[in-house]
Amino acid sequence: MRVMGIDCGTEYTGFGVAEQTHGNRDLIYLTCGAIKLSKRDSLPARLAHIFESLCAVARTYQPDVVAIEEVFYSVNAKSALKLGQVRGVAMLSAATCGLPVAEYSPLSIKSAVVGYGRADKAQVQYMIKHLLNLREAPEPPDAADALAIAICHLHTSATKARQSVVAAH
């Protein structure tokens, strides 16, 4: 299974693609990066840039599914609204490419990758480097977060597959 993780953000939107072959527990790194948004551009222009960039990554790497972080509740309503717009564009890019979308809470993503739901960005970067056998930790942290989201989906899917096999017997 190949998964594209997206870490939605209003300054940087991270993306990462990883896969795990059937029967092989090794995680394989394919790509990661971040879409930098200019505050000088209008909001519609920034959203269009995110959409086009995510569609290009999906066309290039052909994931089976897109995984994104669920909305978390923010004290700042304006920030939450902007983040919601970016998430909507991320979902639209997946739907445009014919890809299903899975959503995970920040707690479940960090737990799946670090083993601790309150892990900080540096801990996530370190574990992504380790899990994917990378020479350097992914930069910026948004790219590492996107890979963490993808890995969370890979782990969750593998666990569900094992549970369905056990339940069938």
Residues marked active site are found at 7, 69, 142
* Tokens 């993306």, residue located: 15
Strands (E) located in 61-119? 65-69, 101-104
Query: Would you say 7 and 61 are in contact if contact means Cβ atoms under 8 Å apart?
Result: no
Q: Are 9 and 143 in contact (CB under 8 A)?
A: no
The phi and psi torsions of 42 (rounded to 5 degrees) equal -70, 160
The CA-CA-CA angle for residues 29, 31, 32, to 5°, reads 115
